[in-house]
Amino acid sequence: MATHTWTLTDTTQALDCDTFEISAREIPGTGDRWSVVKQTLHGGLCEGVDTVEINNGRMQLVILPTRGMGVWQARIDDGVLGWRSPVRGPVHPAFVPIFDPSGLGWLEGFDELVVRCGLGSNGAPDFDASGRLSYPLHGRIANRPAWKVDVIIDDSSGTLTVRGVVDESRIHFQKLRLVTAITTSLDSTSFAWHDTVENIGGKAAEMQMLYHINVGEPILTPGSKLVAPVASMAPRDSVAMEGVASWNILGPPEPNSIEQVFFFQLAANNDGQTQVLLMNPRKETGTAVRFNVRELPYFTLWKNQVAKADGYVIGIEPATNFPNPRSFESQQNRVIQLAAGATWSADVEIDWLLDSAKVAQLEGAIQSIQGATQPAIHHKPQAGWSQ
Amino acid sequence: MATHTWTLTDTTQALDCDTFEISAREIPGTGDRWSVVKQTLHGGLCEGVDTVEINNGRMQLVILPTRGMGVWQARIDDGVLGWRSPVRGPVHPAFVPIFDPSGLGWLEGFDELVVRCGLGSNGAPDFDASGRLSYPLHGRIANRPAWKVDVIIDDSSGTLTVRGVVDESRIHFQKLRLVTAITTSLDSTSFAWHDTVENIGGKAAEMQMLYHINVGEPILTPGSKLVAPVASMAPRDSVAMEGVASWNILGPPEPNSIEQVFFFQLAANNDGQTQVLLMNPRKETGTAVRFNVRELPYFTLWKNQVAKADGYVIGIEPATNFPNPRSFESQQNRVIQLAAGATWSADVEIDWLLDSAKVAQLEGAIQSIQGATQPAIHHKPQAGWSQ
Amino acid sequence: MATHTWTLTDTTQALDCDTFEISAREIPGTGDRWSVVKQTLHGGLCEGVDTVEINNGRMQLVILPTRGMGVWQARIDDGVLGWRSPVRGPVHPAFVPIFDPSGLGWLEGFDELVVRCGLGSNGAPDFDASGRLSYPLHGRIANRPAWKVDVIIDDSSGTLTVRGVVDESRIHFQKLRLVTAITTSLDSTSFAWHDTVENIGGKAAEMQMLYHINVGEPILTPGSKLVAPVASMAPRDSVAMEGVASWNILGPPEPNSIEQVFFFQLAANNDGQTQVLLMNPRKETGTAVRFNVRELPYFTLWKNQVAKADGYVIGIEPATNFPNPRSFESQQNRVIQLAAGATWSADVEIDWLLDSAKVAQLEGAIQSIQGATQPAIHHKPQAGWSQ
């Protein structure tokens, strides 16, 4: 019983495997169905995107080292956990115009189940007084490739892990390093990641992180419900104001509708742990997202109830802050300060629920976190939360 | 007798052939000289550019899936139809700074015989009130790679076709899909394309298209003439005003001259078909471009009579509009509206004329289209046509 | 005895060797230890970067065709001449956001020993009246790939040369061509380059060049000294003003310090030749940089005495001008004018000194250049030198 580690990429050692495959038969006693496979995609916008696919025996997880260690999608049998973005990726960063002066070029690479927004900024585009872009939408990290990728198999715990290291460094400015370990257990239908962001520079730095977790069909369908233990909630703007009464229920796709965004602070257990659940109307299937409000104190819900062809999707977004422009979040003291050498870390778990019993159990668990806490539902944008 | 189809690239199927070659011997009865070959270029700015070269037995046509299915050049024996741009490509989009805040980065990738300008915009850079770029020069499509590429051989009609699909999608904004089929017949000296642009999004969208067809030496030489059936014409600006009297005659290369641009509406047959002809001074060789004014009602002539080293070239540009900034064209109602699922389409043919008889025949055909129509030649820029 | 030439890349011939290796045994009589090897790096930000490594038998020199023929680093035994940038490269241009509207994206690719800044501009970002970027920091050339690369072995002189050609062309704007020949002799500890910039366009053009030569540990350490024959010197700004008294001595890394930049005109021999020397405090090791003030009349010293993790480094920067914004340098007539077909050229040599005797000899040589020239040390920024 031991931990087995393979390094797939390490640019400091001039090491990068073209392809890699490890499977159950190579580690006796770990069952006979798992595998981890690295490939490189070719053609169109995908040209040059590396994928590392973990098959834990039941679920396949596609990880994208080329896109900041995002998780493209999870699959079980013929089912996909993810969404159908009007951008068909995964898209290589060379095709994402991240510094389009509008600050919105990031959208051209956006099609993953899990996208990290950060590290220097994570919100809406920010501009200086002359109208010049200072922070592009959702930051840089999703379009930065990992320079180190390891696969770690622990045959005592039965876990399969892909670890990646991604730097976001610019001399004179920030030097931030993300180390993520994405783990799933043999035959499970869940996966989790442990992220550490380190200020590898010699002076104080600032960071933001938001996990943009995107779920579409089939879990998302008219009548699907988001169950969350709410401490307080407010609409982001006048568009979301119109949707406050039904904030937790998904409406049908409406071609000309505009995204609704809701900001929350969530209730949590004594140790800060909390979770939210998206379930389909019949409560047969769903997705739970678990995290700790001490690490990720702000929560955003993105309801994009547009036509299916335009990307009918919900965004479940635990974060260090609200995804407003960086300068506003800074005024509100919602930017993480990291001294030289200091780290920030967080754990997030995604649980894919495939039967009514599990959905019911999760719904109950969230009600229990809600407990006696009376949710403060604001019907208008709140000063300090929205610009 | 049948249609034979090969798929070279389809990213939705994780399919992308490194190389591909099909030739006459593989389809009995189609002669013995044609071939279609896919390769990838390496080195310098060309690194990673895919080419698909059709040899119809007489003419070779180099198509660029990596650059939005542009046509790099045509060749017959030692002759080249195209031009000698000061940019030596074909250039991979990763080296084209399309969102340079000046909006002019597109120029660094510009060296093809046929470049599509579109789909969201096709004209001069457009800026918002703060001076921030909103639409870059000539749009995005020439720097977007095809995600699907097919080769189709029809041995009953004797045609060789390369079909490509290129998306220009940004969530919250446009979702436009170009499907082009570029076709040539065995042993012919012409080729044509049928383009369809579909709004694959769920709400109304807008589009523009301009075919930037660029011809230099040897057809272009001092005294070369553009023959066109003119309904009305106006210079774009004060620089072009100086050249109105000789708008259809090419002057010699002049090192410090500035491009002259003329805007037209062309006369056409009853069914809307029209054509223009560029011929050399002795009328021995030329190029005709055929299209339909119901599909492409506006025509632009770009005379770039600069030094050869700077790109002595003429641009023959049938389009849905004039290549002014997007906001001006919108005010003038020259932007195509596409409902969800709606399509726009156009056919264009380029005919490479290699003897005096064909040149004379084409010149006559254009005079016949002109017929009794008295061309309205404006000597100043026209309100509504120019800003 | 002859000159042997191999072409590794020539995009005009559709030629690009995947890998290349030539070594001493292939040319009898050239010793037994030299080699020239081309490889392509993979993984992370390095993906796709070509390197050509010259081993002259004693020193290895890593040249970067993909990054405008920069020199990544030199190595002798376990020692490295170069620096430890917080950006870990070499970085492929596709990952360098050169047109970030701030103009500072260049910094994300900056980790070489020798980086060329140019050709259209070489200084701080420049903006137009609306705040829109007109010239990004340090220009384009370091992020343009060579389209022609040759290896030249001269077995009579015992020299190993890598020659590269890099174009910086944009139709309607500049068409500039850099041809560089980087040469080292068998078993030597020095290397030199001869650069020619040609205006390959048909009309007058302008250019700038600055060689950003960056040295960190172990030569750079607190107490290291820059020895230079100074004609006149001035601090660039108020930050550098504070450091005038100790301009030539390196202080310790200070985490929150800000770069100090000093501008110079150097004394030179009658033929214009001059040199500067960076030596460690014990004068046991150092680097000399030799050039001609008729070619490179302006000299900049960049002292970046920040924490090691932030890039503790000195920049030794001979140039055609001071690296101020382009428009200011233009006002000061410090932009090179090139008529159509005209060329500019310069030679620079870097000498890696590995013993006290050589350091002492160089120090003496520089004192001899200084001779009776009394250095004019300005204690404030000078009008005409700084904005």
Q: Do A200 and C256 touch (CB under 8 A)?
A: no
Position C10 pLDDT exceeds 90: yes
Position C276 pLDDT exceeds 90: yes
In this prediction, residues C21-26 reach a mean pLDDT of: 92
How sure is the predictor about A2, in pLDDT bands with cuts at 50, 70 and 90?
confident
Q: Which two tokens stand for residue B24?
A: 């006459």
Position C197 pLDDT exceeds 80: yes
Q: Do A11 and C94 touch (CB under 8 A)?
A: no
Give the Cα separation of B268 and B369 in Å (integer): 6
Exposure string over A196-211, b if 16+ CB within 10 A, otherwise e: ebbbbbbbebbbbbbb
Beta bridge partners, B187, equal none
CA angle C370, C209, C336 (to 5 degrees): 95
CA angle C282, C288, C292 (to 5 degrees): 150
**A141-161 residue pLDDT tens:** 999 999 999 999 999 999 999
The interface pTM score, or ipTM, of the predicted complex is 0.96
How many other CB atoms are there within 10 angstroms of residue A64's CB atom? 26
Position A1 pLDDT exceeds 70: no
Name the residue among B128, B81, B382, B14 with its Cα closest to residue B232. B382
Domains of chain A (ranges; CATH) run 3-377 (2.70.98.10)
Q: Of B310, B313, B314, which to mutate for an interface test with C (greatest number of C Cβ within 10 Å)? A: B310
CA angle B211, B109, B52 (to 5 degrees): 70
A153 vs A160, A185, A196, B258, CA distance in Å?
5, 10, 20, 65
What is the model's pLDDT at position C2? Answer: 85
In this prediction, residues A90-119 reach a mean pLDDT of: 98
What is the model's pLDDT at position B382? Answer: 98
Instruction: Tell me the Ramachandran region of residue A384: left when phi exceeds 0, alpha when psi lies from -120 to 50, beta otherwise.
Output: left
Question: What secondary structure does DSSP assign to A184-199, as a single string?
Answer: EETT-SEEEEEEEEEE
**B20-57 residue pLDDT tens:** 999 998 988 888 899 999 999 999 999 999 999 999 99
Question: Residue A310: helix, strand or coil by DSSP?
Answer: helix
Mean of per-residue pLDDT scores for chain B:
97
Position C30 pLDDT exceeds 90: no
Position B233 pLDDT exceeds 90: yes
Radius of gyration of chain C from its Cα atoms, rounded to whole angstroms: 20
DSSP one-letter code for A340: T
**B159-182 residue pLDDT tens:** 999 999 999 999 999 999 999 999
Tell me which amino acid residue C288 is. A
How many other CB atoms are there within 10 angstroms of residue A227's CB atom? 22
How sure is the predictor about A31, in pLDDT bands with cuts at 50, 70 and 90?
confident
Give the Cα separation of C382 and C241 in Å (integer): 11
Give the Cα separation of B278 and B314 in Å (integer): 9
Worst-scoring range by mean pLDDT, B87-101, C22-36, C102-116, C242-256?
A: C22-36
Residue C326, phi then psi, degrees to nearest 5: -55, -40
Give the Cα separation of A175 and A198 in Å (integer): 8
Q: Can you list the positions of beta strands (E) in A189-323?
A: 190-199, 205-215, 225-227, 230-235, 260-266, 273-279, 286-292, 298-304, 313-319
What is the model's pLDDT at position C28? Answer: 86
Beta bridge partners, C299, equal C264, C318
Position C64 pLDDT exceeds 90: yes
Give the Cα separation of C203 and B258 in Å (integer): 11
In this prediction, residues A275-302 reach a mean pLDDT of: 98
Tell me which amino acid residue A123 is. G
**B172-228 residue pLDDT tens:** 999 999 999 999 999 999 999 999 999 999 999 999 999 999 999 999 999 999 999
**C130-166 residue pLDDT tens:** 999 999 999 999 999 999 999 999 999 999 999 999 9
Give the Cα separation of C338 and A222 in Å (integer): 67
CA angle B259, B262, B264 (to 5 degrees): 160
What is the model's pLDDT at position B2? Answer: 84
**C307-350 residue pLDDT tens:** 999 999 999 999 999 999 999 999 999 999 999 999 999 999 99
What is the model's pLDDT at position B103? Answer: 98
Tell me which amino acid residue B225 is. K
Give the Cα separation of C367 and C361 in Å (integer): 10
How sure is the predictor about B1, in pLDDT bands with cuts at 50, 70 and 90?
low
State the count of interchain CB pairs (< 8 A) between A and C: 105
Q: Do C93 and B97 touch (CB under 8 A)?
A: no
**C160-172 residue pLDDT tens:** 999 999 999 999 9
Beta bridge partners, C9, equal C16, C149
Give the Cα separation of B233 and B241 in Å (integer): 11
Exposure string over B306-337, b if 16+ CB within 10 A, otherwise e: bbebbbbbbbbbbbbbbbbbbbbbbeeebbbe
Tell me which amino acid residue C129 is. A
In this prediction, residues C22-26 reach a mean pLDDT of: 91
Mean of per-residue pLDDT scores for chain C:
97
What is the model's pLDDT at position C1? Answer: 60
Residue of C99, C169, C340 lying closest to B97 (CB–CB)? C99
Which chain C residues are within 8 Å of B105, Cβ to Cβ? Answer: 99
Tell me: cis bond preceding B119? Omega within 30 of 0 counts.
yes
A103 and A133 Cβ atoms separated by less than 8 Å: yes
State the count of interchain CB pairs (< 8 A) between A and B: 105
Worst-scoring range by mean pLDDT, A28-32, A342-346, C194-198?
A: A28-32
Residue of A98, A145, A340 lying closest to C44 (CB–CB)? A145
Q: Which residues of A touch B (CB under 8 A)?
A: 41-47, 85-88, 94-95, 97, 99-102, 104-105, 107-108, 110, 130-133, 253, 255-256, 259, 306-311
